[in-house]
Structure 1
Amino acid sequence: MGMQAVLQMIYPPQCLSCDAFVTSDFGLCSRCWRDTPFIAGVVCDGCGQPLPGGEDGGGPLYCDDCLRIPRPWARGRAALVYRDNGRGLVLALKHGDRLDLARPAAGWLARAGAAILRPDMLVAPVPVHWTRLVRRRFNQAAVLSGALARAQGLDHIPDLLHRTRRTPSQDGRDREARFINMAGAIHVTPRHRDRVQGRHVLVVDDVFTSGATLAAAAEAALAAGAAEVSVLALARVAKEV
């Protein structure tokens, strides 16, 4: 019997979200899997919002928000809807120091982003201001982007983007106020500008809400010479369809 099998007999793998035993490491039990709203089926090509209907018609479809609001990025996806256990997993990573969630989350992100991932992509996280980084000790978006890049064999620059000012919390702000709050707050780190030139950049975040933060990040990459930007989030606040 191999050492791994012995260890699993002594310490059976447990669900990522509860204490239930599961058959393999980094898995969800059947109840937690059922309560985790993975995004599947027809989605908006711009932001990953689930769309009604079972067929995509062979071409890209867009939600009302993406038709109404110009997006600086080309395509976007998200792995989970930000509710129920999807919200719980994001908060566990962000505030509960559950860095072990990065490995399965990378798989969920890869599956959700299969249509937009390219072998020549440069992956970068949405940055946090250094004052928040000191308090939180890590950037959850960088944890996710690093795990995804390693799993997919993509170039990763965790400090490609930086926040030039500490923006107030987006909580409680309407859509317009969120975009105003983020305007001009993110730039490409000067020493990495040459690496952005002509590249397709994938910006990764933990939660997509209005898209204001991702828009600021995408605009910064494009201003530095990126050929194109796509966005990928672990979870998104989605409208009911």
Structure 2
Amino acid sequence: MHIIRALLPGLFNKGVNYLFPPVCGNCDCAIWDNAGICPNCWKDLTFISGACCKLCGYPFELSHGDDLVCGECLKSPKKFDQCRAALVYDVFSKDMIIGFKHADKTYLRALFTQWLSLCGQDIINEADFIIPIPLHRRRLLKRRYNQAGLLAQGVARLHHKKYTPDLLLRTKNTSSQGQFSMSGRWRNVRNAFVLNSKFKDEIYGKHIVLIDDVYTTGATLDSCARTLKNAGASTVSAVVLARVTKE
């Protein structure tokens, strides 16, 4: 009897997958398990590993040591202490991430959470708080969920860390960053975030880890980190799903 009960969930899931096969989160073709992505799409993804900027995580083609800093960080230092990204944001990963963000493909969270955990394990292990980049309440009502919140919650559960989605508040209903130039992105998110007053006595001297989906210029992470540092946080790090790289 115990063996039958143990087998039932697996048999049920196989039956559901047979009648309603899961689909690839990128190309929408049917797949025979819940991996999230089919093998053909998987092989085209570029994961970031090896040498990278010790501050922003920008990947380098060649390794010349562990303390390398990219030209952008030397020219314009960020307020966050370090950032790591799981993969490159390109034509092969773009549709998958946009689908997760805007097209209700929330089933990809389990897979994305694993990727975030692998690329940012050292950072996450030292975290006192795991928080998402917050959405403005109007944007949240329209979208119905915060994709960064889903990722942050998954990472916090996986690492048994404190998930605090309302530690930062977005008080400025900023326009989408995609429509701005590089300098425009920085202006767009300037002073867009504030610390939730109920946490003002809890974050002093703490290590806070921000979770987001895509790193483009670092403007949003920088603005959040500035707010947290001004409120007393000692370290602000970030782990993102993907980042834009220059050709």
Q: Given the two structures, how large is their TM-score scaled by the length of structure 1?
A: 0.91
Question: What residue identity is the alignment partner of 1:107?
Answer: Q
**Residue of structure 2 aligned with 1:28, choices 24, 37, 42:** 37
Name which one, 1 or 2, has greater alpha-carbon Rg: 2
Moved more, 84-93 or 148-157: 84-93
Do the aligned partners of residues 6 and 136 (structure 1) sit closer, same or farther apart at CA in structure 2, a change above 3 Å counting?
Answer: same
Q: Any idea what SS the aligned residue of 1:50 has?
A: coil
Q: Would you say the 8 A contact 1:160–1:192 is kept in 2?
A: yes
After TM superposition, list the pairs within 5 Å mapping 1:28-107 onto structure 2. 28-53=37-62, 55=63, 57=65, 59-107=66-114
Q: Any idea what SS the aligned residue of 1:203 has?
A: strand
Do the aligned partners of residues 30 and 70 (structure 1) sit closer, same or farther apart at CA in structure 2, a change above 3 Å counting?
Answer: same
Q: What is the CA RMSD across the aligned residues, in angstroms?
A: 1.8
Distance 2:175 2:166 in 1: 21
Q: Any idea what SS the aligned residue of 1:110 has?
A: helix
| Aligned match of 1:5 | 10
TM-superposed deviation, 1:220: 0.8
Q: Would you say the 8 A contact 2:123–2:209 is kept in 1?
A: no
TM-superposed deviation, 1:101: 1.1
Q: Any idea what SS the aligned residue of 2:79 has?
A: coil
| Aligned match of 1:139 | 146
TM-superposed deviation, 1:114: 2.2
**Residue of structure 2 aligned with 1:156, choices 149, 160, 163:** 163
Alignment pair present for 1:195 and 2:202:
yes
Q: Any idea what SS the aligned residue of 2:200 has?
A: helix
The runs of 5 or more residues in structure 2 that have no matched partner are none
TM-superposed deviation, 1:118: 2.3
CA deviation digits over 1:185-215, x for unaligned, max 9?
Answer: 1111111222211110001111111111110
**Residue of structure 2 aligned with 1:223, choices 214, 227, 230:** 230
TM-superposed deviation, 1:94: 0.8
Alignment pair present for 1:211 and 2:218:
yes
TM-superposed deviation, 1:80: 1.7
**Residue of structure 2 aligned with 1:19, choices 17, 20, 29:** 29
The runs of 5 or more residues in structure 1 that have no matched partner are none
Do the aligned partners of residues 157 and 56 (structure 1) sit closer, same or farther apart at CA in structure 2, a change above 3 Å counting?
Answer: farther
Distance 2:122 2:61 in 1: 19
TM-superposed deviation, 1:48: 1.9
Question: What residue identity is the alignment partner of 2:12?
Answer: L
CA deviation digits over 1:157-188, x for unaligned, max 9?
Answer: 01111112212222232222211221111111
Distance 1:31 1:134 in 2: 35
**What is the number of equivalent residue pairs in this alignment?**
237
**Residue of structure 1 aligned with 2:190, choices 148, 159, 183:** 183
Q: Any idea what SS the aligned residue of 2:84 has?
A: strand
Identity of aligned residues (%): 35
Distance 2:170 2:52 in 1: 30
Distance 2:186 2:80 in 1: 15
